[in-house]
A and B are shown apart, each in its own frame.
Chain A
Amino acid sequence: MSVSSDPSPLSLDRFGIAEATDAIRAWLLRVRWFGGKERRVARIDLDDVGVMREERPTVLYTLWRVAYEGGESELYSAPLGIRPAPHPVSELGADHLVATVARGRSTLLVYDALADPEAAAELWRMLADRRRLATARGTLVCVALRELDVAAGDPPRLLGVEQSNSALVRGQRDFLKWSRRLEPGATRELEMAEALGARHFPHIPELRGHISYRRPGELPGLQAILQAYLENGAEGWAMALTSLRDLYAVAEDAGHASARQRHELVEEQGGSFQAEASRLGELTAELHVALADPALPGDMTPARAGPAELDRWASTMTRELDRLLGSGNPAVAPLTDKRAIVAARFDALRRLHDGGVTIRDHGDYHLGQVLRTDEGWKIIDFGGEPSRDAEERRDRASPLRDVAGMLRSFDYAAAAALAERIRPTDPLWDPLLASGNAWAKANREAFWAAYLGRIGGSGLLPDEGATVVILRAFELSKAVYEVVYELGHRPDWVSIPLGFLVAGTP
């Protein structure tokens, strides 16, 4: 393909696809990873362009500035492939085929380069060569932490699920996450991978490389991260649900049961999860010990939570509780009566003198963030809680926040697995959930006992009394967050976290 002589560096004209610009805009608005679907878009402009690969296929690095009404804007990253038709990429479908451009007698296909293994392989070559690629307005800097054998194995394949980024797997070897939204500034995910990698923490996927985007006068942003692919993995969530399906099937057969029978049901269950919960508890403690290393840089250095910090936690938690109650949603009415009890649990933080050590924790810890593999459990996704902004996600927190997240996740799994079978309004819900709660209790205890067993003596936690107060406060706070989330997404499920809040702490 010949490159035209259009002098403007910020135009697609010299690649012969200027006519595709509108089609690219339309494509950006419809793809799953575009996060501004509920906002009013004012305009979309090409923000940067560079050539990642010259020929067959041509691969362009493009950035698009999406400006919303009201002045805010976001930057989206879209590597585009260009091939003359006919070519099988024309079959990619509306998610990946962007535009068809007539060029004289021939036709050019413009498409999502990540969906074309030949084009996507260029990402691995860039990493392997540790390339620095100058674009019209910036530079892509590729870092490989080990030698990459790009010739070996299958070509990279795009994974099915796409949220805020696109993931590629190359021949069961490594896993590349391409940020679709480019944000300047240090990235939690990469920092954590580097810090834990340097401390030889074995329960995360090995970090193998990354690509950052730099532009003069701005902080660099993480464009891509390359990690070891975790073979034969299944989410903790799926494992827990498997165990719970087994439990509920037996409980249904057994009919109504006493508390003691329910306990026995869980203890003698074939598909028990308790051994896994216990292993997860140990591993979580090991994670926290690794992250409590005083040698960690900058805002990752551990600190100690004194009264001021405890007061801040209590205030934040209470504020979020009151924001929920103030929403006026009738579904939260049962909580209104219990506000004082929940708020008292938060206030209790203010009476403590020591909140223990605060660290850069996992930040969004639950059963969906742990993968069972043949080498045991691995922890993934260190990006922090998605609903919080980037700065807030970097804040140090008590390791008990992660613990609370996982403990809540056991409760959630018990309810979610039951919700697969029956609706919460079903008369069988309560008797069956009692069995599920016995399951959650057993697994919470297994996790907590193993966590304490491993973290003991590390000095990370405050005294026993304070530990319990803080853990309960984080659990309740997490449940408040869950209620907010469910009101927005799955109103049927509000009763799950709400039940926990109303019942107080178990």
Chain B
Amino acid sequence: MSGDLQDRARTERVNPGSGPSAEELATAASADRPAVVTLIPPPELRRQPEPAPAPAGRDPLWSKHAVFYELLVRGFADSDDDGVGDFGGLIQHLDHLRWLGVDCIWLLPFNDSPMRDGGYDIKDYYSVLPAYGTVEDVRELVARAHDMGMRVVMDLVLNHTSDQHPWFQSARSSPDSPYRDYYMWSDTKNRYTDARIIFIDSETSNWTWDDQAQAYFFHRFFSHQPDLNYDNPKVHEEIRNICRFWLDLGMDGFRLDAVPYLYAREGTNCENLPETHGFVADLRATIDREYGGDRILLAEANQWPEDVVTYFGSEEHPECHMCFHFPLMPRMFMGLRQEQRYPITEILKRTPALPNRTSQWGLFLRNHDELTLEMVTDEERDYMWQEYARDPRMKLNLGIRRRLAPLVGNGRRQMELFYGLLLSLPGSPILYYGDEIGMGDNIYLGDRDGVRTPMQWSDDRNGGFSRADFAQLYLPPLMDPVYGYPAVNVEAQRRNESSLLHWLRRFIAVRQRWPVFGMGSFEALDAANPSVFAYLRAQEEHVVLCVNNLSRFAQPVELDLRRYAGMTPVEMLGKVHFPKIGELPYLLTLAPHGFYWFTIENLP
């Protein structure tokens, strides 16, 4: 009976890593059984130890001024010398993140997975990939992070599962499986033909024939990642229960993977459908109601800003707290290459206002995926390819797989300028592990692994990442003379006060002293010199002026600051008082790729 299966499922949940087999599910689902068969952990087992309180009490707006740090457990630190990073290693290195000034850690997928897509192919949402550790390890990580004043959010892959997930194994086994409707089946490939193919390098269709099921199944990503069927309310309940499980453990929120693609409707491109928004709004309402309003949802919606902004929802029906601002990032690189501000100011101008008080843009320079070019025009995409990826190996899925440092030719000034923009433009900055020390990449590794090599902690063996044999490592660490761990590592940069790491820490600290960076308004200032990008951030009496030189040559700029006549720009790092603002245009000169942050102050 269904009760049997639920009991079994309960037991399996407590021992992560071994879900019910497909045969068991198929048996359970056979013949005259009622269709309501779910894998929900029952309430008594979901009751978990009280998690350590999150930092700063229950501030529902914490994500609006937080500094995020994205990492993959696999690549961060290995505590058990098996060559693969794990939660134990991450816990040991939390002090690095706290020292840097990180407020919130974003964990890439760590659930049990056949690992054919970096963990975005989950086969059990309630367990942890054994190589990374256990659910108890995650609980400890969250507790330790909370103790240190940091929060933790995790990736939630909700559009699809692995084809190894027991749901899919059961679903494919029989049309009568109670899980059949968890996925999208068809007798023909000619449905949803307007949906684009995202991984154009490896997939030719969004439909793949399954011999066992004798049907096609729908997938927006790889053919081993069948899409969940959101027309089935049971799928909603499953996702809600997965969320409850991790929130009960203390998790501070979720980064919702591939959120625009949840629903499919004939005659549309199957993106951003109203039904998808309805589901996200429901999920938000559920989490707010049950968890008190300080847990966040972060949307991955790689779309134009006017489409992305809809994932914040409205005042009455909020959806996500944060959305990544995808188009801004390639535009920043274009601005640097063209040495003028319009690629950036255009997209900011096109960015709609935030629709409710909890919403915030998530800004990033680079992340675990390739430099995202889906959102630029063809001409600009060609341009980006030409500028950043003359080597065809760097091209992948309309993107470029490089880290920040190699993207700017290891130029320290350029990296500083980019971080200056990241930390001062409207939004919450998201750092990518390793970029705080200027790590390089390995373009000869397959897929997107080139930017997922082991974190470089020291110049010890394997860069201090692991004491395993070199050949045992999940990926080889970088060893080249420019970016390799002997040259670029945390330990050396901690000892050197003028390192990029120290520099970044100082600027993060400045940012965190001034809430105006997270909450303030944004206004681009006119400048006759197109190489200079100047803007004001303002919140009540706090006004910050940021002036950036996108050119590799020194540049002058005259700014009309007359509205602040009589006030004094004070450079924020050194508290240096610049000349008072008068009636004449305010003249500044900037070093190549230089930038300033000023507060505008009324000094006696």
A residues near B (Cβ < 8 Å) are 154, 157, 160, 172, 231-235, 238-239, 242-243, 245-246, 249, 268, 270-272, 275, 372, 374-375
Contacts and interface: CB of A to CB of B under 8 A. Distances in A.
B306 interface: no
A249 B526 CA distance: 26
Interface in B365-412: 379, 383, 386-387
Contacts of B552: 246, 249
A275 B339 contact: no
B58 interface: no
B553 A245 contact: yes
Interface in B306-358: 337-340, 342, 345-346, 348-350
Given A249-B553, A270-B339, A157 B524 contact: no
Size band of the interface chain B makes with A: 20 to 34
Contacts of A245: 339, 551, 553
Contact of B530 (A154, A231, A242): A242
B56 interface: no
Contact of B337 (A172, A239, A270, A374): A270
Contact of A157 (B340, B527, B528, B562): B562
Q: Which of B340, B524, B551, B563 has the most CB of A within 10 A?
A: B340
A239 B340 CA distance: 8
Contact of B383 (A154, A157, A242, A272): A272
B524 A232 contact: yes
Nearest to B342: A372
Interface of B: 337-340, 342, 345-346, 348-350, 379, 383, 386-387, 524-531, 551-553, 560, 562-563, 584-585
A154 B529 contact: no
B553 A232 contact: no
A154 B563 contact: yes
Nearest to B344: A374
Contacts of B337: 270-271
Contact of A374 (B346, B560, B563, B585): B346
A372 B530 contact: yes
Nearest to B553: A245
Contacts of A157: 560, 562
A234 B530 contact: yes
26 contacts: A157-B560, A172-B526, A231-B524, A231-B526, A232-B349, A234-B342, A234-B528, A234-B530, A238-B529, A242-B339, A242-B340, A245-B551, A246-B339, A249-B553, A270-B339, A270-B387, A271-B337, A272-B338, A272-B383, A275-B379, A275-B383, A372-B342, A372-B530, A374-B348, A374-B349, A374-B350
Contacts of A239: 340, 530
A231 B345 CA distance: 11
A242 B531 contact: yes
A171 to B, nearest CB: 9
Contacts of B560: 157
A160 B558 CA distance: 11
Contacts of A272: 338, 383
B288 to A, nearest CB: 36
A239 B524 CA distance: 18
A386 B531 CA distance: 30
A268 B386 contact: yes
Nearest to A171: B563
Given A160-B585, A242-B531, A270-B387, A233 B526 contact: yes
A367 to B, nearest CB: 12
B528 A238 contact: yes
B25 to A, nearest CB: 55
B580 to A, nearest CB: 14
Given A160-B584, A245-B553, 16 more contacts: A157-B562, A172-B526, A231-B524, A233-B526, A234-B342, A238-B528, A238-B529, A242-B530, A246-B339, A249-B553, A270-B337, A272-B383, A372-B530, A374-B348, A374-B524, A375-B349
A159 to B, nearest CB: 9
Nearest to B526: A232
B457 to A, nearest CB: 35
Contacts of A271: 337-340
Contacts of B379: 275
A204 B342 CA distance: 18
Nearest to B337: A270
A235 B525 CA distance: 15
Nearest to B534: A232
A275 B553 CA distance: 23
A90 to B, nearest CB: 13
Contacts of B346: 374
Contacts of B525: 232
A238 B530 contact: yes
A245 B338 CA distance: 11
Contacts of A235: 528
Contacts of A233: 526
B562 A234 contact: no
3 tightest CB-CB pairs across the interface, nearest first?
A: A374-B349, A234-B530, A270-B337
A381 to B, nearest CB: 15
Contact of A270 (B338, B342, B563): B338
B339 A234 contact: no
A333 B527 CA distance: 42
B242 to A, nearest CB: 42
Nearest to B584: A160
Given A238-B528, A249-B553, A232 B345 contact: yes
A374 B584 CA distance: 26
Contacts of B584: 160
Contacts of B383: 272, 275
A157 B561 CA distance: 11
Contacts of B348: 374
B335 to A, nearest CB: 10
Given A232-B524, A270-B387, A375-B349, A242 B563 contact: no
A249 B531 CA distance: 15
A374 B386 contact: no
Contact of A234 (B527, B563, B585): B527
B377 to A, nearest CB: 9
A242 B551 contact: yes
A374 B345 CA distance: 6
